[in-house]
Amino acid sequence: MGIKERQERDREAVRRAILDAARDLFVSEGFQNVSIRKIAERIEYSPGALYGYFPSKDDIFFALAEEGFRLLGDPSGHDETATTPLDRLRASFGQFYQFSCKHPQYFTLMFVDQSVPRISREYERFAFAREKKRQVVQIIQACIDSGDLPATLNPAVVFRAFSVGLIGVAVTRLSDRLQPGENADDLATDVLNLTLAGLRSGVTLKSTSSVDCPLADRPADVKAS
């Protein structure tokens, strides 16, 4: 291994250590309560050294959020047996719930901590996450086109209804708010089935949503496209 390759490897190792330490601290103490100095102390570096890797604490969060969204959209988690639009819809939201189980720290940072920076500040960086959402919205539209869901539904609002319900289950599990004997996986399945049954019954949805709104951002914060 040459000098340049060794330097790049060492730099990537330090960057990884910074991200891992920051992720642990952000989740355990809350983003707003963690400073660059505290992250530096965790890995026994000087605060100044960290600025050579990330210009600010916000940039550390954005790097973690990008990792999280890429894990959420990992193709290896797709259900290859899902062939119909309705099966693909169930599989897509099932994968979202499983993400909260497999990667609870990323999930907490992306969907629970209200003090983190808004994803929309890095609009271009997270274009891939918006594209992932559009793909799921297209699956919902396919369910409408196939007659599995009523033609009156707004696919973006349906997406929001499913995702918010499952976020609720995930947060209940992560915060140890489950009742004795209650199973979070079963509860997630119930939420999927109940939401789907309600939609198929022809219930009128009163909320609004935007396809361009990243899943982890408020719609009002989204830059106009």
pLDDT digits (tens, 9 = 90+) for 15-53: 999 999 999 999 999 999 999 999 999 999 999 999 999
Residue 221: is its pLDDT beyond 60? no
Is 175's pLDDT higher than 90?
Answer: yes
Return the percentage of the chain with pLDDT > 70, whole number.
Answer: 91
For the chain, state the CA radius of gyration. Answer: 20
- Contact between 103 and 65 under an 8 Å Cβ cutoff? The reply is no
Say whether domain 69-221 belongs to CATH 1.10.540.10: no
Distances (CA, A) of 167 to 20, 104, 121, 175, 203: 24, 12, 23, 12, 22
Q: CATH 1.10.357.10 spans which residues of the chain?
A: 69-221
- As a whole number of angstroms, the distance between CA 76 and CA 28 comes to 29
Superfamily the domain 3-55 falls into: Homeodomain-like (1.10.10.60)
**Rounded to two decimals, what is the model's pTM?**
0.88
- Report the pLDDT averaged over residues 129-155: 96
190 pLDDT above the threshold of 80: yes
pLDDT digits (tens, 9 = 90+) for 105-124: 999 999 999 999 998 889 88
Name the band, by pLDDT with cuts 50, 70 and 90, for residue 224: very low
Span(s) in the chain for CATH 1.10.10.60: 3-55
Supply 34's token pair: 């963690």
